[in-house]
Structure 1
Amino acid sequence: MQFSYSNPTNIFFGQGQIAAINTVIPTDSKVLVVYGGGSIKKNGVYNQVAKALEGYQWQEFSGVEPNPTVETLNKAVEIVKAEGITYLLAVGGGSVIDGTKYIAAASLYDGDGWDIMTGDYKVTDAIPLGAILTLPATGSESNKGAVVTKKATQHKSGFLSPFVQPKFAVLDPDAMKTLPERQQLNGLVDAWVHVCEQYITKPAGGMVQDGFAEALLKNLIQLGNDFANRDSDAWRANLMWSANQALNGLIGCGVPQDWATHMIGHELTALYDVDHARSLAIIQPSLLRNQIEVKRAKLEQMGINVFGLTKSADLAERTIDAIEGFYHGLNVPTQLTEHNGDKSEAISAIITQLEQHGLVSLGENQAITLDETKKILANAVS
């Protein structure tokens, strides 16, 4: 194993922790509070933020979409530049936090902010930001990654930069109390696939990473089985912390990572407006079946250590069935139906997008070519 790991985000976990933000945001800051559709004004989070920011110069920017678009975010960039904003506070789920990371980087760049997403501009600085998490799923509150969509071209892309790593993150499980059931399910699925992308690859001798990944997967199974008790403090807290740990960088240290499910899933979201987590559930089982031989050893390990399956010649196949069964148990579909049209036309549209975006060889072995992706989609599109 060869890796360098640092996670400098200061985590404030637990009930009532929003009040702590005035201990970490410099008092002379000009703060822009970034949020989504306004649910934070209904669940009490907005009022807690306003109280914690008493004495600060601050203003707000709302309307960040569930899949944040550069078109919307650039409006916030204009505000940051015009008003001399010196600190950003993201209040929401992964989409709001991802969008705020883009704002943080684009606000210190004179060119087209989309250059950040295409790699034409490498981020060298960013406005400092903090996050108040309301929807656990992506782990964006304590990592350096962000995904943004360009609506004009239906291009969903990501970037990584240590400059946009949140300085702090508040994880108060009470902020989840008013979340719709669909968003809670999405959070479970998103966290699950994040772990899988770093775990179901090939053996690398990462005992800590494998063991931690398996513990997180078992947690998520238990939370899924106990979904009827999602209104309990313990359920909310354990999902919030599990989702954070799934993608804070630790379980991916020094081991192979896949992310092909995400790359293909992003196109389902961009083209057919499929919820991000649900795009992953649609793609993953088919992708695993397509790549079963190169992933067989880790699938067998997962079957035994996570699902408690017995050894057999078809253990890897049964493990994939169990993964699909996990989704079905949550009433999350594993087939694309949102395209509402011809199956071959949908597959062609997705392949065209992937090719245009340069995503022609995916996976930990870069072995998922466009031809293989067509086979994956043939089984994932109904």
Structure 2
Amino acid sequence: MNNFSFVNPVKIIFGKDTIKDLTKEIPADSKVLIIYGGGSIKSNGVYDQVTKALTSFEWFEYSGIEANPHYETCMEVVSYIKENNIDYLLAVGGGSVVDATKFIAAAACFEGNDPWDILSKHAKIKAAIPFGVVLTLSATGSEMNAGAVITKSATQDKLAFGSPHVYPKFSILDPEVTYSLPPRQVSNGIADAFVHVIEQYLTYPLRAMIQDKFAEAILTTLTIEGPKALATPNDYDVRANLMWASTWALNGWIGCGVPEDWATHQIGHELTALYGLDHAQTLAIVLPGVMTILKEQKAEKILQLGQEVFGIYNNLSREERIENTIKAVENFFEEIHIKTHLSDYGLNKDSIDKVCSKLQGRGWTLGEKSNITPDIVREILTCRL
């Protein structure tokens, strides 16, 4: 296990009927801005619960955060914050709303000329507006980490940033608010959480037993409870297990002292930015390709994944176990109703060329060993046509 330093300051408030508790977490006399997406929180009762809890505060609202939050929209919110002297933010939604709020919180305090530098140049963040979260979708883990991904629609760039200044002060997780989610969003959330774990686990052995076993427990939970959530959407225990698994998939713990990959996400971001695919759809396309093309590099952890999560044991040859594990991952995505090939979404070789061109322009090499070049990305995507 490698050396590491770990801290996570986010207060989690978990369970039924907990949205009302947010009033205890926000400093008195705060001017609060509620940030949310397309308005589903008004039809599922979350908006009413939030605004009731904020009765004693002066509060404002800003809606319209996209599923892949746009830099341009975020900057409109920054202007609104400055016009109204807002000093506390409340993200009410899924990972996209939380990610947008993180960037907005940092951009509103940014001392440079262009806040896009936070993403494109990793400009230093010295401060951010404090914020809390009311989570409505289990997926990204953004409610308990300090990272975010933002898209600049003008240039079709989708980039990530992170800073200790953008940890939420608190996150409220009530599994009951996820009952009304459309099946597609539920499926996407399950896949996103699954791949978050894989990116921190499926690299090479480092004898980090606690991290490995914890990762395997999260993956097993997702494979068992994911299909149940689609079949019985109002099962509280299923939703609670999924919500907590998604949070732990990316709160930093299972990445302590181990190598991480993130190639699947970085390739997937390009597909989303260029072609508008759901984030989870891109992950379900790319991950089996990464596992196939990098199967020798990742062999030991693929074998471990197969045995510990999918029950693929030594009665088969080594090669058969690897191939069966890759197929098991692909079958899992299909079981939760996410297609796994580029052609399923009308994409072809020309689409691959554009993704590789983008990565070539960035000068990136990806993966836990920084050996996934644009040419390797081409192989990964070609096997997913």
Report Cα offsets for 1:165-202 as digits up to 9, x if no partner: 00000000111121000000011100000000000000
SS at 1:12 equivalent: strand
* Counterpart contact for 2:179–2:233, Cα < 8 Å: no
Which residue does 2:132 correspond to in 1? Answer: 130
CA drift of 1:124 comes to 1.0
Which residue does 2:272 correspond to in 1? Answer: 269
CA drift of 1:340 comes to 3.6
Q: TM-score w.r.t. structure 2 length?
A: 0.96
CA drift of 1:353 comes to 1.4
Identity of aligned residues (%): 50
Structure 1 gaps of 5+ residues are none
Distance 2:105 2:232 in 1: 38
CA drift of 1:120 comes to 4.9
| Count of aligned residue pairs for this structure pair | 379
Matched, 1:307 2:310: yes
Which stretch shows the higher mean deviation, 230-239 or 260-269? 230-239
Which aligned pairs between 1:244-259 and structure 2 lie closer than 5 A?
Answer: 244-259=247-262
The counterpart of 1:316, out of the listed 311, 322, 326, is 322
Which residue does 2:180 correspond to in 1? Answer: 178
SS at 1:332 equivalent: coil
Matched, 1:327 2:333: yes
Q: 1:362 to 1:240 in 2, by over 3 A?
A: same
Distance 2:345 2:329 in 1: 24
* Counterpart contact for 1:272–1:339, Cα < 8 Å: no
Matched, 1:140 2:135: no
Which aligned pairs between 1:188-227 and structure 2 lie closer than 5 A?
Answer: 188-226=190-228, 227=230
Structure 2 gaps of 5+ residues are none
Distance 2:24 2:227 in 1: 38
Distance 2:44 2:306 in 1: 40
Which aligned pairs between 1:6-45 and structure 2 lie closer than 5 A?
Answer: 6-45=7-46
Which residue does 1:230 correspond to in 2? Answer: 233
Which stretch shows the higher mean deviation, 149-158 or 370-379? 370-379
Report Cα offsets for 1:116-148 as digits up to 9, x if no partner: 111252111100011110011000001000000
* Counterpart contact for 2:70–2:152, Cα < 8 Å: yes
* Counterpart contact for 1:33–1:90, Cα < 8 Å: yes
Which residue does 2:358 correspond to in 1? Answer: 353
CA drift of 1:358 comes to 3.1
Which aligned pairs between 1:73-92 and structure 2 lie closer than 5 A?
Answer: 73-92=74-93
Could you list the runs of 4 or more consecutive aligned residues of structure 1 that deviate by over 3 angstroms after TM superposition?
337-341
Q: TM-score w.r.t. structure 1 length?
A: 0.97
CA drift of 1:338 comes to 6.7
The counterpart of 2:285, out of the listed 261, 282, 285, is 282
Report Cα offsets for 1:8-57 as digits up to 9, x if no partner: 10000001111111111001111111000000000000001001101101
CA drift of 1:331 comes to 2.0
* Counterpart contact for 2:356–2:375, Cα < 8 Å: no
